[in-house]
């Protein structure tokens, strides 16, 4: 298994993320999110990213030890934070990003640095370092990695939806209690109050989404355990056969 490694050195935090339900990881199998930055003057044209103005993109191939027998190429993305270089709005800028001396020059002001939120790279956690080289990649391994990434992205979406639904239901309940209070519960049943209907529906939807999230976490953990189990089996890989596909580990 060979790898096309793409390193994005960028100012904006455009990292795609996945989650296991409690931890957030940088998704190495997805392209960076879009940003609206204009092209930076100091980025050489051969390193300039087509989609992100603040990004320098470097591509490198990591070949298998037995590349002639390799049957798979994985594309992985890695992210490095950069900081905008200080500019002098009065003086011209040279190709290295430094201002020329000028009578009209103002002191250089360094941009305040804001560090990205910590989100470890998934491959370093999942594979305890980096993705292993497999000369023959079994389909179950590829499918497990694909499922892990997809369900991790879905967990991020579900958590965002669950948070929004929970907030809407809570706000609706607060407003209802403020305007109706105990009088409503003494006079009307829950289903008879026109304001309570949407609140109850939202609360039921929160419960259903929470159940979905539990199932998604279970699938994520199953894929994680399966993948790590295959990686740990490299010491006895010569005896491991999955669906009649031999696994050959390059140590």
Q: List Cβ<8 Å contacts ≥24 apart for 88-94.
A: 93/41
More confidently predicted of 221 and 89: 221
- pLDDT at position 103 is 42
Say if residue 108's pLDDT is above 60: no
Say if residue 43's pLDDT is above 90: no
- pLDDT at position 133 is 61
Say if residue 212's pLDDT is above 80: yes
Query: DSSP assignment, residue 22?
Result: S
Residue 15 near residue 79, CB atoms below 8 Å:
yes
Residue ranges in 85-179 assigned as alpha helix (H): 122-126, 139-179
Residue 99 near residue 91, CB atoms below 8 Å:
yes
Say if residue 153's pLDDT is above 90: yes
Give the pLDDT band of residue 219 (cuts 50, 70, 90). very high
Say if residue 25's pLDDT is above 70: yes
Residue 48 near residue 92, CB atoms below 8 Å:
no
Q: Which residues pair with 48 in a beta bridge?
A: 56
Residue 12 near residue 80, CB atoms below 8 Å:
no
Predicted TM-score of the model (pTM): 0.73
pLDDT digits 0-9 by tens, 44-97: 777 778 777 788 888 988 887 777 777 778 888 999 998 765 554 444 444 444
Helices vs strands, H then E, count in the chain: 4, 7
């Amino acid at each position: 298994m060979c790898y096309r490694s793409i390193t994005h050195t960028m100012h904006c935090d455009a990292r795609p993320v996945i989650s296991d339900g409690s931890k957030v990881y940088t998704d190495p199998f997805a392209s960076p999110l879009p940003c609206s930055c204009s092209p930076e003057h100091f980025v050489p044209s051969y390193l300039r990213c087509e989609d992100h103005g603040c990004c320098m993109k470097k591509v490198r191939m990591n070949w298998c030890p037995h590349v002639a027998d390799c049957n798979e190429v994985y594309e992985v993305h890695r992210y490095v934070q950069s900081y905008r270089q200080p500019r002098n709005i009065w003086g011209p800028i040279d190709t290295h990003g430094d201002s020329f001396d000028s009578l009209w020059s103002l002191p250089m002001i360094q941009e305040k640095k804001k560090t990205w939120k910590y989100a470890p790279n998934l491959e370093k956690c999942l594979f305890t370092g980096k993705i292993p080289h497999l000369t023959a990649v079994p389909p179950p391994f590829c499918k497990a990695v694909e499922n892990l990434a997809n369900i991790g992205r879905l967990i991020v979406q579900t958590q965002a939806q669950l948070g929004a639904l929970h907030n809407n239901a809570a706000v609706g309940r607060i407003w209802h209690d403020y305007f109706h209070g105990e009088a409503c519960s003494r006079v009307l049943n829950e289903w008879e109050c026109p304001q309570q209907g949407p609140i109850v529906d939202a609360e039921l939807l929160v419960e259903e989404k929470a159940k979905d999230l539990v199932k998604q976490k279970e699938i994520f953990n199953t894929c994680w355990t399966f993948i790590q189990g295959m990686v740990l089996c490299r010491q006895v890989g010569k005896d491991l056969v999955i669906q009649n596909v031999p696994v050959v580990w390059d140590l």
